[in-house]
Amino acid sequence: MSTSTADAVVPYDEVIAEFDPVLGLEVHVELGTNTKMFCGCPTEFGAEPNTQVCPVCLGLPGSMPAVNATAVESAIRIGLALNCKIATWCRFARKNYFYPDMPKNFQTSQYDEPICYDGYLDVDVETDEGMKTFRVGIERAHMEEDTGKTSHQGGATGRIHGADYSLVDYNRAGIPLIEIVTKTIEGTGKYAPEVARAYVTALREILRGLGVSDVKMEQGSLRCDANVSLRPSPDAKLGTRTETKNVNSLRSIERAVRYEMTRQAAVLRAGGTIIQETRHWHEDTGITTSGREKSDAEDYRYFPEPDLVPIAPDPAWVEKLRSELPENPAVYQARLQAAWGISDFDMMAVVRSGALDLVAETVALGADQAAARKWWVGELTRIANDRAVELTELPITPADVARVEALVGEGALNDKLARQVIEGVLAGEGSPDEVVAARGLAVVSDDGPLLEAIDAALAESPDVAEKIRSGKVAAAGAIVGAVMKATRGQADAGRVRELLLERLGVSE
């Protein structure tokens, strides 16, 4: 049964001292194909309910599925990018279950014949000893279809327990999904949460690079389930695992794994046993709660899909797809890092914020790499977090940022004004040049108005003026601040300081 009360947890350091964590990650990726896996319905996100459905994806009698060629190609490309072997012959299978999210009473999936299998992905994690590479084995990547969306009505929690009835929208039912399953991930020790996050981050970059999915976690086009178990030591047999669902951001993956480790440790330490179950992650409270126990009811009676013929990818086709794969993101990153001459740590910050392509484009448009990183990894990432959107969804482009930086380079804007221009662009006031014009933002470079403002500020604070004259140059900050305020930040603070000291006949 569900419970909303928090379970006991053990401090993370103690978990690590007493237990060895083992992970398994399942990632579902919605492909960005035009149509569904087995029918010609469109796959647009956010359409009116039940308007992207047809007899096939509604499971109406007599309808027959037909496999989307592009989805198969995407599956193979994903497998190749993950260093997988590609099956020479494989089939779809029916996964039978009774739940109204699939109107057919089964989901068409793959069972013991996945199209891609036995690959790996190397991921880098910052450790106490510097950057370390962990190899995450890929068990399989198989094709299946997404389910419809059910919303539970009535009841207090919106969850299924206590719901009076459910409403179902089948627009999502049948959208091509690739499920990518890792082998058990061992040997991470205390870095298990970071490895989990780094894996999904790297996977997302690869998928983005392949152009097979929009990989938007907040819209559910990339979803991660985290299997976590603990054992007393690396040579002990595997402990019972739990599967945490609904982990919808990179940060949550790290947090959810960490939380599950601390919760399981508390159960084990108290002499209890871990129940093999599904657990739900709660983003707001940062805990997991018990969902459904895995039981023998979970017997899906898989059998080969009789309405679809097998898939036997022609080796020549596979080799052609392999030769056309984009540059591996890890290689691409290494190349950019060398070009920019930045540290592993700084590069990691760019990658983790999902800003790599944006920074690269901004630099390509002429901006300095440090400035491009400052905007995208600092200011803009913070704003994106505040708005709970992806960086790429902010209404600002690398061209805008590059233009702002060009204006800074020309001396037309200072840091403070540049910030205001960025703010204006984000507020939909137009291009950087339009914002500058509309807001009347420009550095006051004429000394006349500055000297006037300086004289006014000195007259305002004669005591400060006296201090500076007597050699306490540190006091100049107060006058410079007053001048900057008077000119609404449009002055160059360095120049104001120069003029001020000159005026008072003091040297630094």
Partner 1 sequence: MSETPSITREDVAHLAKLARIDLPPESLDHYAEQLAVILGAVAQVSEVAADDVPATSHPLPLVNVFREDVVRGSLTAEEALSGAPSVESDRFRVPRILDEA
User: Judged by CB, which is closer to partner 1: 89, or 345?
Assistant: 89
CB of 169 to partner 1, least distance (A): 5
When asked if residue 11 is in the footprint of partner 1 (CB under 8 A), the reply is no
Pick from 89, 112, 93: nearest CA to 314: 89
Nearest residue to 114 (alpha-carbon basis) of 133, 137, 89, 95: 89
CB closer to partner 1, 74 vs 490? 74
Q: What does the alpha-carbon distance between residue 483 and residue 503 come to, in Å, rounded to a whole number?
A: 14
Separation between Cα atoms, residue 68 and residue 217, nearest integer Å? 24
Contact pick of 167, 334, 370, 437 for partner 1 (by CB under 8 A): 167
Which of Zn ion, partner 1, none interacts with 8 (beta carbon under 5 to 8 A by kind)?
Answer: none
- Quick check: 160 binds partner 1 (CB under 8 A)? yes
**325: phi then psi, degrees, rounded to nearest 5:** -65, 145
Residue 57 CB, nearest distance to Zn ion (Å)?
Answer: 3
Q: Which residue, 175 or 217, is less far from Zn ion as judged by CB? A: 175
In the bound complex, what is the minimum distance in angstroms from residue 198's beta carbon to partner 1? Answer: 30
Q: Which one of 236-244, 305-313, 374-382, 420-428 is the stretch in contact with partner 1 (CB under 8 A)?
A: 305-313
Report, in Å, the least distance between residue 431 CB and partner 1: 35
HEC readout, 390-439: CHHHCCCCHHHHHHHHHHHHCCCCCHHHHHHHHHHHHCCCCCHHHHHHHH
Q: How far is the CB of 42 from partner 1 (least distance, A)?
A: 5
Residue 397's contacts (CB-CB under 8 Å, 6 or more residues apart) are none
**71 lies in the binding site for partner 1 (CB under 8 A):** yes
The answer to whether 322 touches 316, Cβ cutoff 8 Å, is: no
Contact partner, 157, from Zn ion, partner 1, none, Cβ < 5-8 Å per class: none
What value does the CA radius of gyration of the chain take, rounded to a whole number of Å? 29
- Which residues lie below 8 Å from residue 58, measured CB to CB, with a gap of 6+? 103, 170, 173
Query: Distance between the two ends of the chain, CA-based, in angstroms?
Result: 72
Among 144, 169, 405, 492, binds partner 1 (CB under 8 A): 169
Cβ atoms of residues 327 and 206 within 8 Å: no
Residues that bind Zn ion (CB under 5 A): 39, 41, 54, 56-57
Closer Cβ to Zn ion, 111 or 170, answer by number: 170
What's the gap between Cα 137 and its chain centre?
Answer: 21
State the minimum distance, in angstroms, from the CB of residue 276 to partner 1: 16
Whole-angstrom Cα distance, residue 390 to residue 248?
Answer: 12
Q: In angstroms, give the least distance from the CB of 111 to partner 1.
A: 11
Sketch the per residue contact string, 47 through 66, with partner 1: x for CB under 8 A, - otherwise: -xxxxxxxx--x-x-----x
Which residues contribute to the site for partner 1 (CB under 8 A)?
33-35, 39-42, 48-55, 58, 60, 66-72, 89, 91, 96, 98-100, 103, 150-153, 159-161, 163-170, 291-292, 296-297, 299, 301, 303-306, 308-314
